[in-house]
Structure 1
Amino acid sequence: MLIDIGANLTHESFDHDREAVIARARAAGVTRMIVTGADRAHSPKALALARAYPGVLFATAGVHPHHATEYTDECDAELRALHAHPEVVAVGECGLDYFRDFSPRHVQRAAFERQLQIAVDTGKPLFLHQRDAHEDFVAIMRNFEGRLGPAVVHCFTGTRRELFECLDRDWYIGITGWLCDERRGQHLREIVRNIPANRLMVETDAPYLLPRTLKPMPKDRRNEPMWLPHIVEELARDRGETPEQVAAATTATASAFFRLPAPTPQTA
């Protein structure tokens, strides 16, 4: 049994076959999935999906740094209302992205801080995004030190130094199919064995980041949660472990991190 901690199942590419996508994931052993809420439009949709698949899908609610300009007082109130629902298990996706800079950096920082305050107020864990913004990211998180619950750096792509700085702060690490990209993920293969088993989680970030080592490649190049076992196999090889060991450890870690209920016979 695997848990995909980051699947963008509200994405429009799933509109024509979402039910089949979820069924394929479960048939592949991905029995629970966290649906990422990353803006004002998709966070409520993530909650709606989680409520439609109780015990199988859960949701996050937040505003990705790409959309930070939409973070108003009204947006903050909307997110807080979403977090009143038990199906919403984490604050985010939130953080900083200086690679794209789709929102001005000072606006990103402000939106990030407001969402960290939601995490403080609700006690929920954090689902974090960071790309090319490590120093500012760490500095802002440090300002909330001692007030936050657990945090996972979703889709970690950083350096060895950044990995150890995250681990030194007891943050969790989410690994995606980026690991399988020979063009830009090779450094991850060399450092993932340094992640303690109780700090490691796995995710597809579907429909993005289709593992490039899949054979044959899907014709539509769309990633799905059903490919999570492939990522686990690659990760296990790089860590010198068996896929079964990685599956068991990451599932236990994710279940505890998101405080998920025990699977029932219907959802297992």
Structure 2
Amino acid sequence: MSKKRREIPVFDQPIIETHCHLDYLKDRPLDETLSLSRDVNIERVITIAVSPDNLARVRELSQVAPWVYGTQGIHPHDAESYSDAVEAEIRAHVGDDKIVAVGEIGLDYFYDNSDREVQRSVFRRQLQIACDTDRPVVIHSREADEDTIDILREFENTLTRRGVIHSFTSGPGLARYALDNGWCLGFNGITTFNKAENVRDIVRMTPIDQILLETDSPFLTPVPYRGRENAPFYLPFVAEQIAEVKGLDLAEVLTKTYSNSLRTFFPER
């Protein structure tokens, strides 16, 4: 059974929302969503690019407030729409002041919305962009653990160690590879789901200094608000769950994940 709904907790320490999709939110105006997020001490928000259709929109959104940032990249679902022109657009803007990473890139063999060989090729091409520009990466991997590891190994000597495998639901093999290479794992509302013990097991094995907090909103709304559209202002529930699963003081989780977010995406800010 879901926990009884309660007010969103407000912590004294700031939180960074490392992965959401502001352009997908529909339940309320953007300015209201951002205001509610500030009310619960969300200090910065990173909104994520996924397709050729929203690269420019993410750049626009990164300008709506000083504390909103974005990425540039093509999700594996849209790998078949990748082209030289799309790559040129990503390269032209990945160094923009409010763009903090190459992403969301990777492999998705669960939905297989794009041919797997095309996914692998596009993943490699975008990892090369990150190498060439020394930018962190935001990686999506679903039911593609072995190929994700194999491709990342090709770039071990050139890819920055600043990066995250977001919304981590993969197995311990990929988790261990990422952690051993200094990467972070991103966790969200899935950690609160009753049937997600496999994800909580990964949280337990992940050092707190390699965990990032995210919502992936509008998806994966945490308990106790499942059934509603997710939003950055629900992030405190994820922080609480991480603290509970790891048996750590909440203040330590907030301090460490905040520092991890700065190290990954804002090393000079």
TM over 0.5: yes
Matches within 5 A, 1:80-91: 80-91=91-102
Report Cα offsets for 1:179-219 as digits up to 9, x if no partner. 11112x112223312212221111000000001x21xx37x
How many angstroms apart in 2 are the aligned matches of 1:58 and 1:117?
22
Quote the Cα distance in structure 2 between the aligned partners of 1:197 and 1:235.
9
Q: Per-residue deviation at 1:145?
A: 1.2
Q: Which secondary structure state, in structure 2, belongs to the residue aligned with residue 208 of structure 1?
A: coil
Note the 1:94-109 alignment, pairs <5 A.
94-109=105-120
**Matched residue, 1:13:** 26
Q: Give the drift of 1:169.
A: 2.1
Q: 2: distance between equivalents of 1:177 and 1:84? A: 30
Q: What is the one-letter code of the residue matched to 1:73?
A: D
**Per-residue CA shift, 1:122-176, capped at 9, x if unaligned?**
1000011000001111111111111011221011011233322221222211011
Residue 243 of structure 2 corresponds to residue 252 of structure 1: no
Kept in 2: contact 1:96–1:109 (CA 8 A): yes
The partner residue of 1:200 within 191, 194, 211 is: 211
- Is 1:31 the equivalent of 2:58? no
Query: Which structure 2 residues correspond to residues 213-224 of structure 1 after superposition, within 5 A?
Result: 213-214=223-224, 217=225, 221-224=228-231
Cα deviation per residue 1:11-32 (whole Å; 9 max; x = unaligned)? 1526x51110011011011111
The alignment of Structure 1 onto Structure 2 pairs a total of residues equal to 255
Match of 1:170 in 2: 182
Instruction: Name the SS of the counterpart of 2:71 in structure 1.
Output: strand
1:43-90 Cα shifts (integer Å, max 9, x gaps): 221111111212x11101100000001100011011111213121100
Q: Which of 39, 42, 46 is equivalent to 2:54? A: 42
Task: Determine if contact 1:44/1:82 at 8 Å carries over to the other structure.
Answer: no
Match of 2:201 among 190, 193, 209: 190
Q: Which residue of 2 aligns with 1:241?
A: 248
User: 1:232 corresponds to which residue?
Assistant: 239
Deviates more, 1:226-235 or 1:36-45: 36-45
The RMSD of aligned alpha carbons is 1.4
Q: TM-score scaled to structure 1, two decimals?
A: 0.91
Contact 1:156 1:173 in 2 (8 A): yes
Matched AA of 1:6: H
Please list every run of 5 or more consecutive structure 1 residues that lacks an aligned counterpart in the other structure: 263-268
What amino acid is aligned across from residue 67 of structure 1 in structure 2? D
Report the CA distance shift for 1:6/1:117 in structure 2 as closer, same or farther (over 3 A): same
What is the percent sequence identity of the aligned residues?
A: 34
> What SS does the corresponding residue of 1:51 show, helix, strand or coil?
coil
Q: Which residue of 193, 202, 206 corresponds with 1:181? A: 193
C-alpha distance in structure 1 between counterparts of 2:181 and 2:95, whole Å: 28
Contact 2:25 2:218 in 1 (8 A): no
Is there any run of 5+ residues in structure 2 with no aligned partner, and where?
1-13
> Paired residue for 1:72?
83
